[in-house]
Amino acid sequence: MTSPSLHNALCAGLLESGANVFSIGLCPTPMAYFAHYHLKTDAAVMVTGSHNPPEYNGFKMVLNKHSFFADEIQNLQLLTTLKNISTGQGTLNNIDIRNEYVKNNLKNIKFNKKMKIAWDIANGSMGTVIDSFTNQLSSVEHIVINKEVDGTFPNHHPDPTVPKNMEQLVKTVVSNSCDIGLGFDGDGDRLGVVDNKGNIIWADQYMLLLAKEISNLYENPKIIMDVKSSKVFFDEVKKFNCEPIMFKTGHSPIKEKMKEVKSPLSGEMSGHICYGDDFFGYDDAMYVGLRLLRILSNEEISLNELIGLYPKTTATPETRVDVEEIRKFEIINEIKNRLKDIKGKIIDIDGIRVENDKGWFLIRASNTQNQLTCRAESLNKDDLSDLINLIENQLKLSGVEFKFNL
């Protein structure tokens, strides 16, 4: 695909500006983040289109251990326009840090019972290291599917937030009587989970298990979750003596918020989960999966039973609606104006989220695509239907014809 040519052009440009470059080859995004810390570099750049369609590609960047995004990217573009760039001749070093990456992720990971684990690599870059992990986790049984790296993604699109992309993993878990299934996105920084009964466990559900463990390690820890997440998560986390913080969607701003409030754990419905506890604070789906497996190995009941301990709701999946790029934020503002007097709690940190006696709903603009994201949750189907109708009617008033496909 396009990653090799982008990588070569990036290296050439950095070298011409006098920068010394370490190239770590084909790898998952978290390994690039790890290299930034391990090699003590000033910055790290990952060539990746993540879960976007194969024709898309780009860069994820870190500067001095901070996410590089939004206005900073625009300012960088301005520097290139003004040709205000240093010149020189740097050096290129091709290195292999896979062993160091695997070793770091496995430190303090020990399983206390035998388990059978299904892994769906989704033909993404985690395939470059999965064997190194499974070979060292010999106390459990592994079933690995789609581990060959292939940027055309021949088996399914590598986005674990879409149920149809998880169907193969679900079948693998059920047919092999696995205790859990773990699925990755294209560049290995987002995690999908399937329980032992073949149910998809969404991020705001398995984050409860991660937060419960954190509550035993810290006094009143701050746990961050994005605005798309279930109200159940925020309510239950309080019972753990944690302080839940609802924040806008986006792994880069959430990482910065973690540093600001000294949070040991954050998450998004998209499956970006970041550990500050015993880790660097970035999103590594493999490390999160290992922590979840460690938790499961210390429990006497199954993952399905663990999730069943929490209140059940009925909800829509995260649903995306195509709109014109120029209109997506305008539509959100129009809806905010129409709903300013609606009964309930209005949260407008990212789009508009309304919580009332029927449940809650969210309409927000995507940061990366010409889409709106919609979600609703309630305790019963009738109330959920009312919330769905409200969303559909509001979109229609802004010229968007849309119906949930449930």
Distance of alpha carbon 347 from alpha carbon 353, whole angstroms:
5
Q: Dihedral through CA 252, CA 191, CA 347, CA 276, nearest 10?
A: -50
- CB neighbourhood size of 47 (10 A): 21
Residues 133, 102 contacting (CB under 8 angstroms): yes
Distance of alpha carbon 82 from alpha carbon 175, whole angstroms:
59
Residues 335, 323 contacting (CB under 8 angstroms): no
Residues 176, 143 contacting (CB under 8 angstroms): yes
Q: Between 98-106 and 285-297, two packed helices, what is the crossing angle to 10 degrees? A: 30
- Helical residues (DSSP H) of 129-202, grouped into ranges: 130-136, 167-175
Catalytic residue among 3, 50, 139, 263: 50
Residue recorded with tokens 């798309």? 228
* Catalytic status, residue 270: no
Phi first, then psi: give them for residue 391, nearest 5 degrees. -60, -50
The upper half-sphere exposure of residue 11, i.e. CA atoms within 13 Å in the direction of its Cβ, equals 16
Beta-bridge partner residues of 119: 144, 182
Distance of alpha carbon 65 from alpha carbon 256, whole angstroms:
10
Active site amino acids: 50
